[in-house]
C-alpha cells in the first residue's frame, strides 16, 4: 500500500498512521484523560494524557485503562518544574507554598466579591518533588511508549530509561531555540515547538516564527512537532511546510466528547472568539494563555506581583476549585489557544483526527491554491 501524503518519518518512529498528537493537557481536572488519549491513538494519531496533577497510583490506573481501550502507542505528559526540583530529583528541596499576606487577602476578597463560598485548601501535588519522582517511576514501570515534559528537564527519566533499557521516546515542549538546543544535548528524542498562539504555557515567539527556527537548530538530529493554534488541515500543512514532522494540538482536542472539561467550558470554547484569550502569569506563575475570565482580569487589575509557580498555583487552585464546584465558567472559563475561534462544535476525538488528516491530505494532493 502506498504511503499517504501525510506520512512523515515520525510516523515510522512512533508507529502511527498520522503525525497528529493530542497534547498532554493537565490541570486541577486533567482535560486529557485516558479516554481522550485512547480515542486519538485508536484513530491513528498519538494520544497523550495530561498527567501533571495526577497521583502516581492513579496514573498507573490511567495507563492500564488506555491499554484496555487501544493497543496503539500513546504518551504521558507531566511537568517537572525547576523551581520544585532545583534540577535534582534525587536530592530535592521542599518548597514553602504559603502565600504572602496581600495575596491571601486578594483570594479572600475575590471569593467574597464573586460569591464563591468557603474556599478549599490548595492541593497541588507537583510542589512535592517526591510526587514528581514517583510519577516518573510509574511511567518507567508501566513502560509507557512516549513521555513528554511540558516544563523542565526529563534528564532523570532519560537516565533511568537507559538503565532499564526501555524503548521510550522522550520529548520536551520548548518555546525558544536555546531550549531546543539544550534538550537535544540532554538526549531527548524529539521536541515540541509551541508558539505564542497556543493554549497554556507558551512562548513569547509566534508559532509561525518559532517552528522553522527550532527546526533549523535540530535538523537532521531529532524531529520537531509544531504546536500553537493548529486546528485544521491548513495549519497542519503550514506546520509541515515550516519543517515540523507532525503537529501537537491541544485546543482542537478540548472540543471533544472525551475531553474532561465541563459542559459549560465546552460551550465556552464555542462562544470564544480568536480575541477572547488572555496571556497571564497570574494563572500559574508562568506566562500562560487562558480564556479571558474574572480571575485573570481581577488579578491583573490588582497590580499584585506574580509569584513563583509553586505559590501562584496555590492561589489559583483555591479559587478554581471553588469556581468549578459551582460551575462558574465566568471565573474559570478554561484554557485555550487563539485558534479557539475556529471551534464550532463538540465532536468525538476521532472526528478531529480524521478531519485534520483528510483536510491536510486534500491540500497536499490538490495543491494549496486549488484547495482553498
Ligand atoms: C487546557 C490546557 C492544558 C494544558 N496543560 C498542559 C500540560 O499539563 N502540559 C503540557 O505540556 N502542556 C499543556 N498545555 C499546552 C499543550 O500541551 C499544547 O502545547 C497547546 O495546547 C498547543 O496549543 P493549542 O491549544 O493552541 O493547540 C495545555 C494546554 C491547554 C489548552
Residue 97's pLDDT band (cuts 50, 70, 90): confident
Mean pLDDT of 56-79: 98
What pLDDT, in 10s, does the model give residues 332-352?
Answer: 999 999 999 999 999 999 999
Nearest CA to ligand 1 atom 2: 25
Query: Which atom belonging to ligand 1 lies closest to the Cα atom of 26?
Result: 8
CB of 20 closer than 6 angstroms to any ligand 1 atom = no
Among positive and negative, which fits the CA dihedral 136, 72, 247, 254? negative
> Of all residues in the chain, what percent carry a pLDDT higher than 70?
96
Lowest mean pLDDT segment, chosen from 120-129, 235-244, 301-310: 120-129
CA 8 distance to own-chain centroid: 22
Identify the helix (H) or strand (E) that includes residue 12: helix 9-14
| 369 torsion bin: left (phi>0), alpha (psi -120 to 50), beta (else) | alpha
Residue 98's pLDDT band (cuts 50, 70, 90): confident
* Inter-residue contact 194 to 175 (CB < 8 Å): yes
Q: How far is the CA of 367 from the centre of ligand 1 (A)?
A: 31
* Inter-residue contact 125 to 55 (CB < 8 Å): yes
Alpha carbon distance 112, 106 (integer Å): 10
SS3 41: helix
CA 279 distance to own-chain centroid: 16
CA 161 distance to own-chain centroid: 22
Residue 201's pLDDT band (cuts 50, 70, 90): very high
Which residues have C-beta within 8 Å of that of residue 282, sequence separation ≥ 6? 295, 296, 299, 300, 304, 306, 312, 315, 316
Asked whether residue 87 carries a pLDDT value surpassing 70, the answer given is: no
Among positive and negative, which fits the CA dihedral 367, 207, 48, 50? negative
Q: How far is the CA of 256 from the centre of ligand 1 (A)?
A: 15
Asked whether residue 1 carries a pLDDT value surpassing 60, the answer given is: no
CB of 19 closer than 6 angstroms to any ligand 1 atom = no
Asked whether residue 105 carries a pLDDT value surpassing 80, the answer given is: yes
CB of 249 closer than 6 angstroms to any ligand 1 atom = yes
Q: How far is the CA of 101 from the centre of ligand 1 (A)?
A: 31
Q: How far is the CA of 369 from the centre of ligand 1 (A)?
A: 31
pLDDT of 165 reads: 97
Residue 85's pLDDT band (cuts 50, 70, 90): low
Mean pLDDT of 368-372: 74
SS3 18: coil
Q: How far is the CA of 359 from the centre of ligand 1 (A)?
A: 23
Residues in the chain: 372
What pLDDT, in 10s, does the model give residues 10-42?
Answer: 999 999 999 999 999 998 889 999 999 999 999
Query: Which atom belonging to ligand 1 lies closest to the Cα atom of 79?
Result: 9
Mean pLDDT of 169-187: 97
User: Across the chain, where does the E strand assignment appear?
Assistant: 20-22, 46-50, 74-80, 146-152, 169-174, 190-194, 200-201, 224-227, 246-249, 277-280, 288-291
Query: Which atom belonging to ligand 1 lies closest to the Cα atom of 149?
Result: 11
Between 120 and 10, whose confidence is greater?
10
CB of 27 closer than 6 angstroms to any ligand 1 atom = yes
Which residues have C-beta within 8 Å of that of residue 216, sequence separation ≥ 6? 243
pLDDT of 368 reads: 80
* Inter-residue contact 228 to 340 (CB < 8 Å): no
pLDDT of 83 reads: 66
* Inter-residue contact 32 to 48 (CB < 8 Å): yes
pLDDT of 21 reads: 99
The dihedral formed by the CA atoms of 344, 228, 22 and 136, expressed in degrees to the nearest 10: -140
* Inter-residue contact 254 to 269 (CB < 8 Å): yes
Single pTM value for the model? 0.96
Task: Kindly report the number of other CB atoms within 10 A of residue 209's CB atom.
Answer: 13
Beta strand 190-194 pairing with 169-174: parallel
Between 158 and 82, whose confidence is greater?
158
Q: How far is the CA of 340 from the centre of ligand 1 (A)?
A: 13
SS3 318: helix
Lowest mean pLDDT segment, chosen from 221-230, 267-276, 349-358, 360-369: 360-369
CB of 152 closer than 6 angstroms to any ligand 1 atom = no
Look over the chain and give the mean of its residue pLDDT values, rounded to a whole number. Answer: 94
Starting at the earlier edge strand, list the strands of the sheet with 277-280: 200-201, 288-291, 277-280
Q: How far is the CA of 153 from the centre of ligand 1 (A)?
A: 17
CB of 336 closer than 6 angstroms to any ligand 1 atom = yes
Which of 199, 285, 329, 332 has the most ligand 1 atoms within 8 A of CB, as the residue to mutate? 199
Return the DSSP state at 146: E
CB of 76 closer than 6 angstroms to any ligand 1 atom = no
Delimit the domains of the chain by residue range.
9-269+342-365
Q: How far is the CA of 48 from the centre of ligand 1 (A)?
A: 11
Residue 82's pLDDT band (cuts 50, 70, 90): confident
Which class is domain 9-269+342-365? Answer: alpha beta
pLDDT of 10 reads: 98
Alpha carbon distance 122, 104 (integer Å): 12
Between 74 and 125, whose confidence is greater?
74
CB of 290 closer than 6 angstroms to any ligand 1 atom = no
Nearest to 80 by CA among 145, 161, 171, 146: 171
Query: Which atom belonging to ligand 1 lies closest to the Cα atom of 340?
Result: 26
Query: Which atom belonging to ligand 1 lies closest to the Cα atom of 339?
Result: 26
CB of 255 closer than 6 angstroms to any ligand 1 atom = no
* Inter-residue contact 222 to 182 (CB < 8 Å): no
What pLDDT, in 10s, does the model give residues 127-161?
Answer: 788 889 999 999 999 999 999 999 999 999 999 99
How many Å from the N-terminal Cα to the C-terminal Cα in the chain?
A: 28
Alpha carbon distance 154, 160 (integer Å): 10
Amino acid at each position: 500500500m502506498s504511503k499517504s501524503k501525510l506520512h512523515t518519518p515520525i510516523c515510522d518512529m512512533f508507529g502511527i498512521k498520522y503525525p497528529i498528537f493530542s497534547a498532554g493537557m493537565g490541570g486541577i481536572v486533567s482535560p486529557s484523560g485516558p479516554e481522550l488519549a485512547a480515542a486519538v491513538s485508536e484513530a491513528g494519531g498519538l494520544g497523550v494524557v495530561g498527567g501533571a496533577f495526577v497521583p502516581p497510583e492513579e496514573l498507573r490506573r490511567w495507563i492500564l485503562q488506555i491499554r484496555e481501550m487501544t493497543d496503539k502507542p500513546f504518551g504521558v505528559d507531566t511537568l517537572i518544574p525547576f523551581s520544585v526540583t532545583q534540577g535534582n530529583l534525587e536530592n530535592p528541596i521542599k518548597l514553602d507554598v504559603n502565600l504572602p499576606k496581600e495575596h491571601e487577602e486578594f483570594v479572600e476578597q475575590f471569593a467574597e466579591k464573586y460569591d464563591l463560598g468557603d474556599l478549599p485548601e490548595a492541593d497541588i501535588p507537583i510542589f512535592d518533588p517526591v510526587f514528581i519522582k514517583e510519577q516518573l517511576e510509574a511511567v518507567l514501570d508501566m513502560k509507557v511508549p512516549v513521555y513528554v515534559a511540558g516544563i523542565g528537564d526529563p534528564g532523570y527519566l532519560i537516565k533511568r530509561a537507559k538503565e532499564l533499557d526501555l524503548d521510550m521516546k522522550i520529548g520536551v515542549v520548548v518555546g525558544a531555540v536555546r531550549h531546543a538546543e539544550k534538550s537535544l544535548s540532554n538526549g531527548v528524542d524529539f521536541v515540541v515547538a509551541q508558539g505564542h498562539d497556543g493554549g497554556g504555557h507558551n512562548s513569547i515567539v509566534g508559532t509561525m516564527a518559532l517552528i522553522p527556527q527550532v527546526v533549523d537548530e535540530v535538523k537532521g538530529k531529532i524531529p520537531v512537532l509544531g504546536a500553537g493554534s493548529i486546528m485544521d488541515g491548513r495549519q497542519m500543512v503550514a506546520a509541515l511546510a515550516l519543517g515540523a514532522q507532525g503537529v501537537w494540538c491541544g485546543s482542537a482536542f478540548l472540543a471533544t466528547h472525551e475531553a474532561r472539561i465541563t459542559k459549560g467550558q465546552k460551550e465556552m470554547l464555542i462562544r470564544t472568539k480568536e480575541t477572547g484569550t488572555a496571556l497571564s502569569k497570574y494563572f500559574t506563575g508562568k506566562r500562560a494563555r487562558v480564556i479571558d475570565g474574572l480571575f485573570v482580569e481581577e488579578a491583573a487589575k490588582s497590580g499584585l506581583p506574580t509569584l513563583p509557580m509553586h505559590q501562584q498555583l496555590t492561589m489559583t487552585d483555591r479559587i478554581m476549585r471553588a469556581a468549578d464546584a459551582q460551575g462558574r465558567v465566568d471565573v474559570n472559563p478554561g484554557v485555550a489557544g487563539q485558534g479557539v475561534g475556529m471551534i464550532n462544535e463538540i465532536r468525538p476525538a476521532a472526528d478531529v483526527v480524521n478531519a485534520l488528516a483528510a483536510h491536510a491530505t486534500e491540500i497536499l494532493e490538490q495543491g494549496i491554491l486549488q484547495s482553498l
